[in-house]
Amino acid sequence: MAEERFRKEETLEMRQRLIGQSCRLFYSEDPVKIVKARGQYMFDENGKRYLDCISNVQHVGHCHPAITKAATAQMDLLNANSRFLHDNIVLYADRLAATLPKKLSVFYFVNSGSEANDLALRLAEQYTRHEDVVVLDHAYHGHLKSLIDISPYKFRKLAGQKEWVHVAPLPDTYRGIYREEHPNPGQAYADTVKHLIEEINKKGQKIAAFFAESLPSVGGQIILPQGYFSKVAEHVRSAGGVFVADEVQTGFGRTGTHFWAFQLQGEDFCPDIVTMGKPMGNGHPLACVATTVEIARAFTANGVEYFNTFGGTPVSCAIGLAVLDVIEKEDLRGNAVRVGAHLKDLLKKLQQRHEIIGDVRGVGLFVGLELVIDRRTKTPATKTAAWVVKRLKEEDQIFVSTDGPWESVLKFKPPMCFSMEDAELVVGCIDRILTDMEAKNLKLENEDI
């Protein structure tokens, strides 16, 4: 077992005293102290094993030996900034280019998803010479000031909406304004963006960019309707803006069938800018912006150097390359297809037995289970979702968390080595908890707990 420096209570006391309290803990009432991890499992200070269903950053598995080896070997040799010529950065950019449409052939390496999105904003503004941004409702694009401004999930709780930011409806076909029964929800939701752009132009403003996650995560593990991105891209480009696909959560094969989630929208769709982060370095701070030659050229034309101290160092790129190798060697995309389908299938079967499960959706290892008080009204079962999360942790040592505007969606974004047995275990435990709740006739939303 890993050596512990402080007892759990001491660590907690120091944490409360020394670390800003806006940096929250999971399970704040009874936090878990984790001292080591491997694959899809995490271990507490007593050696108790937890199944991790949510760490999409540790993409190829916690502490994967191939990643540790690549990092330490490069660290032992050289870690300088990217102003010196080095093979790793070009090798890595070349490997990333091979996963993307040809048009996206220029790369900027940064340290976090937020930095990537902030740079995407600058690229878009510089290229279009416009200022306004259209984002999806409930979106989150990062913690920098510039990104809080374009994240309704955050700005609604803070300073509010800036006049250059415009919010389009979330294309949620389960509970949004156009639902499954609509003949063409992709087109209908794209039209809402078209109308928004018309309104913006009427005010004499012009859009620089449309930002969207290829699969909205904080929005509630949403699967976008087919055709949506292509149609939106048409409207955005004809208004002189660019299309930014935020792949910070969803890239690097999480969907299984495709390396990038935007590719689910069809072969003919290509964003102008793609931002990536979380899974890229398997926990090492590594993120990136990919764009076109034209946009990169416009950014260069301002004559100002773009320098990022830690972006694209030989160590970061060695780690990034190792992550790509493991995804391929261990067929993690194939695993995401197989295990993701099994997980979804088991959850769908569960839905037939438990009224409270309103919707099961997902692709690959990006899956959501939405709980509702009433299937007809779709009132979110927020407290029940929190209750299930708590019991899974306490009774089964399983980490799951919630997402969505009402925190009513149980989300699954596990490390990509998640197995069939893991899927069966977590679904079996959810089944037991819901069955128990029903047997006791607990009405959690009415404060029965």
Ligand X SMILES: Cc1ncc(COP(=O)(O)O)c(C=O)c1O
By the criterion CB under 6 A, which residues form the site for ligand X? 112-114, 117, 140-143, 213, 217, 246, 248-249, 277
What single letter denotes the amino acid at residue 304? V
Q: In angstroms, what is the minimal distance from the CB of 117 to ligand X?
A: 6
CB of 285 to ligand X, least distance (A): 8
Cβ at position 441, least distance to ligand X in Å: 38
Say if CB 249 and CB 57 are below 8 A apart.
no
Residue 139 Cβ vs ligand X, minimum distance, rounded to whole Å: 8
Of 105, 323, 127, which Cα lies nearest the Cα of 236?
127
How many other CB atoms are found less than 10 A from the CB of residue 8?
Answer: 14
**Please, which residue, 185 or 277, has the CB nearer to ligand X?**
277
What are the φ and ψ backbone dihedral angles of 107, each rounded to 5 degrees?
Answer: -125, 145
Nearer to ligand X, 112 or 292 (CB): 112
Please identify, using beta-carbon distances, which residue of 217 and 291 lies nearer to ligand X: 217
DSSP code of 418? -
Task: Compare residues 43 and 140 and give the one whose CB is closer to ligand X.
Answer: 140
d(CA 213, CA 265): 12
Q: Between 142 and 225, whose beta carbon lies closer to ligand X?
A: 142
CB proximity list for 414: less than 8 A, separation 6 or greater: 40, 52, 53, 54, 55, 56, 365, 422
In 3D, which of 195, 188, 279 has the Cα closest to residue 236?
195
Of 57 and 193, which CB lies nearer to ligand X in the complex structure? Answer: 57
Residue (of 227, 222, 210, 267) closest to 249 by Cα position: 222
What's the min distance (Å) between Cβ of 275 and ligand X? 7
Residue 401 beta carbon to ligand X: minimum distance, rounded to whole angstroms: 12
Which residue, 120 or 371, is less far from ligand X as judged by CB?
Answer: 120
Let me know if 81 is exposed, middle or buried by CB neighbors in 10 A (0-12, 13-18, 19+): middle
CB of 366 to ligand X, least distance (A): 12
The DSSP bridge partners found for residue 213 are 246
H or E segment to which residue 399 belongs: strand 398-399
> Which residue is nearest to ligand X, using beta carbons?
113
CA angle 283, 285, 286 (to 5 degrees): 105
Nearer to ligand X, 239 or 367 (CB): 367
Amino acid at 194: K
> Which residue number, 173 or 249, has a Cβ lying nearer to ligand X?
249
Residues ≥6 apart with Cβ < 8 Å to 325: 66
The nearest distance, CB 391 to ligand X, in angstroms, is: 26
Q: How many CB atoms lie within 10 A of CB 212?
A: 27
| Minimum distance from residue 142 beta carbon to ligand X (Å) | 4
| Strand ranges of the sheet holding 132-136, from the earlier edge strand across to the other edge | 106-110, 287-291, 273-276, 242-246, 207-213, 132-136, 165-168
